Amino acid sequence: MAKTGQSGLDALVAGVPRGERGPPPVHLWNPPFCGDIDMRIAGDGTWFYMKTPIGRPALVKLFASVLKREGDRYFLVTPVEKVGITVDDAPFLAVEMRQEEGGEHPILRFRTNVDDWVDCGAGHGLRFEAESATGGLKPYLHVRRDLWAKVTRALFYDLVALGEERDVDGRRMFGVASAGVFFPMAEADSLREFA
């Protein structure tokens, strides 16, 4: 049964531990499932509650900190309850990128729409999915524990500008490197068709 109304939202907010640094350990929490609530994260990163945008960034950040993915479903989790929500595409957006020196290899750092900074590398990779509607690619950045951020179109163009060709398993690939890890976007020959 779906929770509705302000009391469901207030109960969820009250159950979130406060005062800790970093995201709460939601991966360690396994409370009972209490049903779905009318909360949705739209493809543009806007969070909605009961079809109304959540206008308080601090509240969005709080909810983002207790977001958990299990299979194809998304949940907000506290130590005492777990409620299902809807995510249209990815729960986060990568909205800013910096290239910084990281010793031997440059590091791409991304800021999400909830102000988390993620260093792209072996533990936080990039993936590129074919977009059937346009024939292009949709880039995603791993944020934490099977939660991903869709990279904005503007940042995708920045990634392409940093791109290079490398041999990967005997195939010439175009991609981008960060922290010494190469993330292939597409076969280099397929991109030459568009040049």
Domain boundary among 36, 67, 87: 87
Q: Give the per-residue pLDDT at 191.
A: 72
Residue 78 and residue 104 in one domain: no
CATH number of the domain where residue 10 is located: 3.10.540.10
DSSP reduced 3-state for 62: helix
What pLDDT, on the 0 to 100 scale, is given for residue 135?
79
* Sequential DSSP letters for 102-125: -TTS-EEEEEETTS-EEE-BTTB-
- CATH number, residue 105: 2.30.270.10
Integer-rounded Cα radius of gyration of the chain: 19
Q: Which residues in the chain come in under a pLDDT of 70?
A: 1-21, 192-195
| Residue 136: predicted pLDDT | 85
For residue 47, the enclosing domain spans 5-87
Query: How many separate domains does the chain show?
Result: 2
CA distance 122 to 141: 11
Q: Which of 87, 108, 128 is the last residue of a domain?
A: 87
Of 43, 58, 87, the residue that ends a domain is 87
Contact 12, 79 (CB under 8 A): no
